[in-house]
Amino acid sequence: MKALSAAYAVLFFYLAALSPLSLYAAASPDVAGATSPLPSLAPMLEKTTPGVVNIATRGTVRLKSSPLFEDPFFRHFFDMPQRPLERRTQSLGSGVIVDAEEGYILTNYHVIASADEIAVTLNDGRQLTAKVVGSDPDADVAVIQVEAEDLTAVPWGNSDQLRVGDFVVAIGNPFGLGQTVTSGIVSALGRSGLGIEAYEDFIQTDASINPGNSGGALVDLNGRLIGINTAIIGPAGGNIGIGFAIPANMARQIMNQLIKHGEVRRGQLGIVIQDLNPELAKAFGLEMQRGGVVISRVESGSAAAEAGLKPGDIITEVNGQKIKNSADIRNVIGLQRIGQVVNMTVIRDGKKRTVKAVIAEPKLTVFKGEELHPRLEGAQLGAADVVLKQDDARGLLVMEIEPYSPAAASGLRQGDIITSINRQSISNLEEARRAIKNGGRGVLLNIQRGNAALFMVLQ
């Protein structure tokens, strides 16, 4: 027993010599006179922070007012200004230099939205004027450009290789204080369904992200860009350790389209889908199936119809990427350009098969009412499922309506959904035109207004 105790004592002293406290003591010149440097992120940050910039914008937004105030006669009678009411806006945010030669800076769309002037402040104090190259509001990504020499770009990382628990560093301009660095870990991956953006595949992190950090860099410990800081969840607008960043790979794909085309032209397959839950999987005889989406409707004449997809098909992979839920396939398809071919793994009748589809031009989703009928002049209509981003919304949504227009005089209101024309269900302009053509002189509209429904006749 004594010999065993002595062995434990030796082991204890050996482990104690290797403890973090002893390492700190050995490295601290105050304790042991050693000069070994302590672990630090400073060397990495010295190379990375020059690539993160502060962005300040000024803009003008039009204020909403009563339709009565929009009437020129009313404004003239009461001697009101003829110009629409406007408000000057200012915002602060961050950006990441991703191409030093061309001066391209990646940021969030909401940082530069409605901006008339964009001022960029570099880490060395230089102030530059930027122009917008392109923006994608649906993914909250924008590219701006400055003309300057001796810029420093942040190198790209591979966000697809991230794992929960990886250390990350957030760099930005919170509350306009100036460049600030915070650290944390990757808390979760593939966050979606938050309702923040139309296309969501967020990296969640507990690195402190606050207002003003938007558009800033999320980097790994090698200083490689793995995300664009975008949003937080905070009851009072402050950080509580739940922040979200757009994955770098997703942002890079969008950026390339914005630089090349100035916009992101998203195509569509033409399907309505729902998540594959355990009950549906069992009903389809797939008790062990995990993940995937079920096609509940295929639009006639769509890319999906041309590819041979059918209701009841279960999509499990797109271009080799596993599909866990409807948000996954929405993001994958949304990043494809019109004309690109996608390979899908589909389960039909319990058997796997590969289906190829060509991403098609989306059907016209927003148009003027007079394109459909003279009595609808003054209304702006849109496909309800696309505008409201709800697959189960069917019909044409009245997005805007001009006061005293024929559409307003007909009784239409903003927010109405035309669900059928001449008793034929409609979901887009083509279907609406066919329904009107087949209905003779009178046009019977079925309107959904909130929780109520009513019929309306156009002569």
The 8 Å CB, 24+ separation contacts for 382-388 are 383/427, 383/428, 384/417, 384/427, 385/272, 385/427, 386/362
Cα distance between residue 115 and residue 59, in whole Å: 4
Amino acid at 236: A
- Give 300's contacts (C-beta < 8 A, 6+ positions apart): none
Cα distance between residue 426 and residue 270, in whole Å: 15
Q: Give the distance, in angstroms, between the CA of residue 434 and the centroid of all CA atoms in the same chain.
A: 35
Q: Respond yes or no: is residue 261 known to be catalytic.
A: no
- Give 363's contacts (C-beta < 8 A, 6+ positions apart): 268, 299, 383, 428, 429, 430
Q: Respond yes or no: is residue 183 known to be catalytic.
A: no
Kindly tell me the burial class for residue 315, based on how many C-beta atoms sit within 10 Å of its own C-beta (0-12, 13-18, 19 or more): buried
Q: Respond yes or no: is residue 140 known to be catalytic.
A: yes
Catalytic member of 110, 136, 302, 410: 110
Q: How many CB atoms lie within 10 A of CB 126?
A: 13
Quick one: tokens of 29?
Answer: 């010149």
Coil, helix or strand at residue 298? strand
The angle at the Cα of 158, spanning 124 to 149, to the nearest 5 degrees, equals 25
Catalytic member of 136, 140, 313, 416: 140
Catalytic member of 91, 192, 208, 214: 214
Q: How many CA atoms lie within 13 A of 435 on its CB side?
A: 23
Which residues belong to the active site?
Answer: 110, 140, 214
